[in-house]
Amino acid sequence: MSLPRVLADLPVSQTVLDLLGGLVELVPWDAAPGRVDAVYTYGHPPVGAELMDRFPDLKVISNFGVGVDHIDVRAAAERRIPVGNTPGILDGATADLAFALLLAAGRRVVEGDRYARGPAFTHYDPSFMLGREVHGSTIGIFGMGRIGRQVAKRANGFGMKVLYHNRNRSDEAEIVLGARYAPKDELLATADHIVLTLPLTPDTRGFIGAAELALMKPTATLVNVARGAVVDKDALADALAARRLFAAALDVTDPEPLPRDHPLLTLDNVVITPHLGSATEETRRRMAELSVQNLFAGLSGKPLMFSVT
Residues that bind ligand 8YV (CB under 6 A): 42-43, 64-67, 90, 275, 277-278
Measured from the CB atom, the residue of 71 and 220 that comes closer to ligand 8YV is 71
- Rounded CA-CA distance 14/229 in Å is 30
Residue nearest ligand 8YV (C-beta atom): 65
Smallest gap from residue 307 Cβ to ligand 8YV (A): 15
Burial class (CB in 10 A: 0-12, 13-18, 19+), 121: middle
Measured from the CB atom, the residue of 138 and 291 that comes closer to ligand 8YV is 291
**Residues with Cβ < 8 Å from 247, sequence gap 6 or more?**
105, 106, 108, 132, 221, 222, 240, 269, 270, 271
Smallest gap from residue 277 Cβ to ligand 8YV (A): 5
- Per-residue CA distances from 128 to 112, 240, 247 (Å): 10, 19, 16
According to DSSP, residue 174 is labeled I
Measured from the CB atom, the residue of 238 and 256 that comes closer to ligand 8YV is 256
Question: Given its phi and psi angles, is residue 62 left (phi above 0), alpha (psi -120 to 50 degrees) or beta?
Answer: beta
Smallest gap from residue 42 Cβ to ligand 8YV (A): 4
Angle subtended by helix axes 91-106 and 109-117, to nearest 10: 60
Measured from the CB atom, the residue of 64 and 142 that comes closer to ligand 8YV is 64
Cβ pair 177, 160 in contact under 8 A: no
Smallest gap from residue 225 Cβ to ligand 8YV (A): 8
- Taking the CA atoms of 124, 126, 130 and 133 in sequence, report the sign of the dihedral they define: positive
According to DSSP, residue 80 is labeled T
- Rounded CA-CA distance 89/276 in Å is 15
Smallest gap from residue 87 Cβ to ligand 8YV (A): 8
- Rounded CA-CA distance 100/39 in Å is 33
Smallest gap from residue 258 Cβ to ligand 8YV (A): 17
Measured from the CB atom, the residue of 55 and 64 that comes closer to ligand 8YV is 64
Planar angle of CA 217, 155, 221, nearest 5 degrees: 25
Measured from the CB atom, the residue of 106 and 145 that comes closer to ligand 8YV is 145
Catalytic residue annotation: 227, 256, 275
